Amino acid sequence: MLKIENLHAGVDGTDILKGLNLEVKSGEVHAIMGPNGSGKSTLGHVLAGRPGYNVTAGSATLLGQNLLEMETENRARLGLFLAFQYPVEIPGVSNMEFLKAAVDAQREHRGEPPIDAVTFMKKARETCKIVDLDPAFLKRGVNEGFSGGEKKRNELMQMILLEPRLAILDETDSGLDIDALQVVARGVNAMRSENRAFVMVTHYQRLLDYIEPDHVHVLADGRIVRSGDKSLALELEARGYAWLEEEVA
């Protein structure tokens, strides 16, 4: 589904990713761990097409299409979803309006008519239940005055409604208490399917107790330096990253 080869990318001429390779197959869940500054968040933004991030070498394809040449919105319409680490507020634009506009933009891209308001309302209310948000949040401005945990759950709600093919979760677990973490895990696990893949960027093994990954990768200095199964995460939890970085050096 997602294939990244020898990817070099960064911001303002500084390379942060330095030859990254990764392949994610449909139905898989990958966890990407690594020390601060190793390039974990950069990877998500480069794939999503954040302005200001430049690719200097390598390739990345999603469903066989060259991601790096596509506009940000077209990557999203192809089925790439990024759950933001720090979701921004859009005052005055109701969550409902925003969600429907996003869903309709993607439907339009697939040649489908806009979803009718009643059906969508029902779906949105059901999703609120899954992510444990009061339906009143639908009427509030996007992330406007939401707590950190509410913002993360709102990201999850968007993911569920948009039904992406590839979801990248950028430290969605950070700053969450254990109850909220379980809500996130429940949402992701419910979404797992043969047609969908997940890439979870995280600092902590804790999340992986709830969402069991098929593969775990360690990112250090812009490259994947070790890959393994979930036992690698446990090892990292016990030993930290320093030994790996030394080994690589």
Q: Does residue 3 belong to the site contacting another protein (CB under 8 A)? A: no
Q: Does residue 116 belong to the site contacting another protein (CB under 8 A)? A: no
By rule CB under 8 A, what string of x and - marks binding of each residue 133-162 to another protein? --------xx---------------x---x
Cβ 23 vs Cβ 33: under 8 Å: no
Cβ 49 to another protein, closest distance in Å? Answer: 8
15-23, 97-105, 191-199, 211-219 -> range binding another protein (CB under 8 A): 97-105
28-36, 98-106, 117-125, 213-221 -> range binding another protein (CB under 8 A): 98-106
Q: Does residue 97 belong to the site contacting another protein (CB under 8 A)? A: yes
Q: Does residue 113 belong to the site contacting another protein (CB under 8 A)? A: no
Q: Does residue 11 belong to the site contacting another protein (CB under 8 A)? A: no
94-102, 111-119, 211-219, 231-239 -> range binding another protein (CB under 8 A): 94-102
Q: Does residue 101 belong to the site contacting another protein (CB under 8 A)? A: yes
Q: What residues line the site for another protein (CB under 8 A)?
A: 48-52, 71-73, 75-77, 81-82, 84, 87-94, 97-98, 101-102, 105-106, 109, 141-142, 158, 162
